Chain A
Amino acid sequence: MSSALERFPPVIRKHRKLRILKRISEDRFLLMLLAPGVVWFVIYRYLPMAGLVIAFKDFSFSKGIFGSVWVGLDNFRFLFFEQSDFYNILRNTLLINTYRLIFSFPAPIILALAINELKSPKLGTFKNIVQTAVYIPHFVSWVIFGGIIVQFLSPSSGLVNQLLGLFGIKPIYFLTDPDWFQTVIVVTDIWKTTGWGAIIYLAALAGVDPSLYDAAEIDGAGSFSQIIHVTLPAIADTIVFIMLLNVGRILMIGFEQIYVLYNPMVYEVGDVISTYVYRVGIGNAQFSLTTAIGLFQSVIGLIMIAASNWASKKWLDRGLF
């Protein structure tokens, strides 16, 4: 009896192997289509992840990523305990992103709600014009947008300071005054990203059955209670989704906006992780040290997204995964 049992497993295994081979051969054309992309992902996304090991090494080009000498946690010890740059860029990154969560995050929701209120077909053209206009800043580069912002904020000829001048306010040096720089970053971020950010909420709102509004109206619900009882529940999933992604990016600030707008006079408040890593890492060839910062940033990002996803599942009953 025991010998009979022993005979079965290899046969089953062989069957499974055959079945897998058969499925691979059935899907061979699909796998062929997939192959170039997979190779790309391995080289340009997964190899850099392996390259993160240089955070624990003293990287030098002559020895390469894998040949360089291990130094354990020396890079992290230096960052955390022996210099203050790290805390400075960490503070700036966290501050700017917190302001963004408070001010930039709700802006597209409000805009989408406002656009969604244009329900009458007679307002269709107006709705189209508004949508086209608010999407435009997304399609313009930060260099160009930044160039325009610099003109607008110029202390001598800028529109903003001329308007302030009408009220007797002295010109403000928005881009070189450390007290103003972070505000400028947050406001210009809202300016450039709100319109495009609204599109995802509008997409969710497009799926709402119009009869729900009619029903609410018959029940005597005013505009505000319609928003609270019909509109907001329809986009709750999307709001949570975007919120979780933003929390996961709490240590990430796009390089281009800061790089375009900052200058040595505001490094103290404007330098963030990405700009610092570029300037010190590539500029001063501090590869290992800045990779350690990058690793710290990525790991915190992963932890934040996992934790907020867990919290959201527990209390809000929805999550990313």
Chain B
Amino acid sequence: MKSRMNPTPLRLLNWTFLIIAAFICILPFYYVITVSFSDPTSVKSGELLLYPRGFSLDAYRVILKQKTFYNAFIVTVVRTLLGTAIGLSLQCMVAYPLSRKTMIGRRFFMLFVIFTMLFNGGIIPTYLIVRYTGILNTIWAMVIPDAISAWNVIIIVSFFMTIPDSIIESAKIDGANDISIFTRLVIPLSTPVIMTITLFIAVSNWNSLMDAVIYINKSSLKPLQVYLMSLVMRSDMANMLGSQSEQDLPTLSIQTAAIFTATLPILVMYPFIQRYFIKGVMIGAIKG
């Protein structure tokens, strides 16, 4: 075993490769943090900032004062909470019956779910159905149309199938019905997969841009990603922030501050759930 630590040239090469890969993946966030907290005057000078120069919260002050930013932030929080609660419940409720090998019509329902991974109606027909179901320009347009992901369902099903049948059968003999087995037995035994799927759904709700771009036309319902899109990508500063004195701050400072504030909730949540998802995803992947 000792031999596996020896730094042979090949191993050194491999370690270097991995260090560079990790560095490249972290670099953007390092850059955003550096610029957003740096003294705005050195940001303004246009020189390259590889480490923080001075310290300033001015950019954050400007962002946090914006009503539109607040509003967008709250829309995103609400859609993420609703989307995660509804999505997670629906996906687990679909997954449990599909994990019961003896259920009537199991094969049919499985195909019914999997087929949607291979074929779909596409952007326009889905838009029309969303419109006909009357949820266009409501918060539900960002919650319901993508509430269930067939991928997630498959991952949950394969996890549920690892729960021994004997546990479920003995609960049945004790007189429990399938719903109470599901809520009192299966769910508590499935923490890793539920944590993992919660993270997936929450992150995709938090980050989703396309559904808001297509389904939401009302400015009071625009989520954070749409706000950031106009602030960061289209550099629509004058429009977003009005002609205030704070405009003295360089665009870059304000943009990076907005980016960091918008990413913070995910960066805070990530380490807590990461240990679960490695386990949860792995089981799903091996079985799938």
Q: Interface of A with B (CB < 8 Å)?
A: 20, 23-24, 26-27, 29-34, 36-38, 40-41, 43-52, 54, 65, 111, 114-115, 117-120, 122-123, 126, 129-137, 139-152, 156-157, 159, 162, 191, 194-195, 199-200, 202-204, 206-207, 223, 238, 248, 255-256, 259-260, 274, 277-278, 281-282, 287, 290-291, 294-295, 297-298, 301-302, 305
- Given A134-B21, A260-B233, A41:B14 Cβ within 8 A: no
23 interchain pairs, CB-CB under 8 A: A30-B96, A43-B129, A48-B122, A49-B125, A51-B124, A114-B14, A141-B207, A141-B228, A144-B232, A144-B259, A147-B233, A147-B259, A148-B259, A151-B255, A156-B46, A195-B21, A195-B25, A199-B278, A206-B286, A223-B8, A260-B209, A294-B124, A301-B118
Q: Does B285 contact A (CB under 8 A)?
A: yes
Stretch at the interface among B28-36, B55-63, B77-85, B236-244: B28-36
* A141 / chain B contacts, CB cutoff of 8 Å: 206-209, 225, 228
Residue on A nearest B104 in the bound complex, by CB: A23
Chain B, residues 72-96, CB within 8 Å of chain A (1/0): the string is: 0000000000000000001101101
Q: Does B100 contact A (CB under 8 A)?
A: yes
A52 and B148 contacting across the interface, CB-CB below 8 Å? no
Q: Does B192 contact A (CB under 8 A)?
A: no
* Contact-size category for B: 35 or more
Residue on B nearest A120 in the bound complex, by CB: B4
Q: Does B276 contact A (CB under 8 A)?
A: no
Name the residue in B1, B8, B122 with the highest tally of chain A Cβ atoms < 10 Å from its Cβ: B122
* B206 / chain A contacts, CB cutoff of 8 Å: 141
CB-based A-B contact count at 8 angstroms: 262
* B179 / chain A contacts, CB cutoff of 8 Å: 29, 32-33
B285 and A200 contacting across the interface, CB-CB below 8 Å? yes
Q: Which of B26, B90, B130 lies in contact with A40, CB distance below 8 A?
A: B90
Besides A31-B97, A48-B128, 15 more A-B contacts (Cβ < 8 Å) are A29-B179, A33-B178, A34-B97, A34-B98, A43-B129, A45-B120, A54-B125, A130-B19, A136-B29, A141-B206, A143-B207, A148-B31, A151-B256, A157-B48, A302-B119
Residue on A nearest B50 in the bound complex, by CB: A159
Q: Which of A38, A111, A140 lies in contact with B109, CB distance below 8 A?
A: A38
Closest beta carbon of chain A to B240's beta carbon, Å = 14
A145 and B28 contacting across the interface, CB-CB below 8 Å? yes
B121 and A148 contacting across the interface, CB-CB below 8 Å? no
A223 to B209, CA, bound (A): 44
A111 to B24, CA, bound (A): 13
5 tightest A-B contacts by CB? A48-B121, A294-B122, A51-B125, A141-B207, A37-B94
- Given A147-B232, A274-B123, A130:B29 Cβ within 8 A: no
Q: Does B249 contact A (CB under 8 A)?
A: no
Q: Does B166 contact A (CB under 8 A)?
A: no
- Given A144-B259, A145-B28, A150-B233, A111:B21 Cβ within 8 A: yes
Q: Does B203 contact A (CB under 8 A)?
A: yes
Q: Does B189 contact A (CB under 8 A)?
A: no
* B266 / chain A contacts, CB cutoff of 8 Å: 139-140
Q: Does B64 contact A (CB under 8 A)?
A: no
Closest beta carbon of chain A to B169's beta carbon, Å = 13
B209 and A48 contacting across the interface, CB-CB below 8 Å? no
A114 to B21, CA, bound (A): 11
* A131 / chain B contacts, CB cutoff of 8 Å: 278
Q: Does B270 contact A (CB under 8 A)?
A: yes
B121 and A49 contacting across the interface, CB-CB below 8 Å? yes
